[in-house]
Amino acid sequence: MASTVNNVLVFGGSRNIGYYSALRFLRQGASVNFMLRSTSVFDDSASHAELQTYIKSGKAKLLKGDALVNTDVKSAYEAASACSPVDLVLFTVGGIPEFSLTKGFVLNPPDLVSKCFLNVICSIPTDSPNLKCIFISSSGLTKKSHRAAVPGLFKPLYSHFLAGPHRDKIGMERVLAYCTGWSWEAEDGEATDVLGTDWRERTGLPAPGSLENVLVIRPALLTDGECVAETDTKGKAPYRIALDADLKGYTISRKDVSHLVAVAATEKWNEYKNKIVGIVY
């Protein structure tokens, strides 16, 4: 049975997967709250004409704040819940890395995702037992996923050029494994280089094994292609997915990942919740 999403809080929604997903929820009639460092990011009417109609109607709300600042995240939850409880948190934070021949793609700060994620997960309202959480990660992060899911041609790309951004997301997945009670392989380490050594002592961190209603999506290498799911695929699935398994493949468009986000949060939540889902063409 399909479920509804009425009030969404998006971290990382200024562009890419978060932005495209937000538009899908708005089209379905939901209210969407964007936490943004700059609330002028959508001012260009030519680029954001559709979203601006939702902003003017009040269905889309722009909340100024930085997810790196814990008090800003708490304020975003409070503002988003002012009229009705938030029933979906979507976390798609990811920086714009700089490229270095010696270091590959480098984030500044290198722990951007991990820090933002800790603030978000430690601020989840304790009085929202039905809150859904969707977190965007990446394929090939863990040692097992790298061995099983990354094609041979892409292994140097993942091992060197994407090592920094992926290390940051390993921090997010380590915290998630702790809070959900999911298994964590010793070979993947504790990610203290991005999390610090005292992250388990954070105020508000969900107790071990207590976090539920969570979905982690691990896309393959992301592209800016069109949404295949909205074209005529002649009866074929637009993309492949795997539940709690590693799925080998090359790429997936950000727009198709947003399609999966919307479908998972509504039509297939009971099937996908509390799982890691891989997506690739």
Residue 32 in any domain: the answer is: yes
CATH number reported for the structural domain that contains residue 52 in this entry: 3.40.50.720
Q: What value does the CA radius of gyration of the chain take, rounded to a whole number of Å?
A: 18
Structure tokens at 271: 């099937």
Q: State the pTM of this model.
A: 0.94
User: Using an 8 Å Cβ cutoff, are 221 and 253 in contact?
Assistant: no
How many domains does the chain contain in total? 1
Structure tokens at 91: 């976390």
Residue 33 in any domain: the answer is: yes
User: Using an 8 Å Cβ cutoff, are 252 and 17 in contact?
Assistant: no
99 is in which domain, residue-wise?
Answer: 7-280
Residue 2 in any domain: the answer is: no
Residue 83 in any domain: the answer is: yes
Cα–Cα dist 182/175, whole Å: 10
Which residues, in sequence order, are CB contacts of 204 under 8 Å at separation 6+?
A: 122, 123, 124
Cα–Cα dist 162/197, whole Å: 24
Q: 275-280 and 240-243 as β-strands: parallel, antiparallel, unpaired? A: antiparallel
User: Using an 8 Å Cβ cutoff, are 90 and 24 in contact?
Assistant: no
Alpha-carbon dihedral sign for residues 153, 155, 161, 166: positive
What one-character DSSP code corresponds to residue 206? P
C-beta atoms surrounding 158 within 10 Å: 21
Structure tokens at 141: 């992060």
**pLDDT tens track for 156-175:** 989 888 888 899 999 999 99
Residue 254 in any domain: the answer is: yes
Cα distances (angstroms) measured from residue 121 to each of 19, 249, 267: 20, 30, 24
Residue 195 in any domain: the answer is: yes
Helix (H, G, I), strand (E, B) or coil at 179: helix
Residue 1 in any domain: the answer is: no
**pLDDT tens track for 227-242:** 999 998 888 999 999 9
Structure tokens at 65: 């704040």
Give residue 266's pLDDT: 96
Cα–Cα dist 247/232, whole Å: 24
Which residues, in sequence order, are CB contacts of 159 under 8 Å at separation 6+?
A: 146
Which residues, in sequence order, are CB contacts of 196 under 8 Å at separation 6+?
A: none
Question: Can you list the residues of the chain whose pLDDT is less than 50?
Answer: none
Give residue 234's pLDDT: 83
Helix (H, G, I), strand (E, B) or coil at 86: coil
Give residue 53's pLDDT: 97
Cα–Cα dist 32/55, whole Å: 9
Cα distances (angstroms) measured from residue 184 to each of 60, 102, 143, 188, 273: 37, 30, 11, 8, 18
Give residue 2's pLDDT: 61
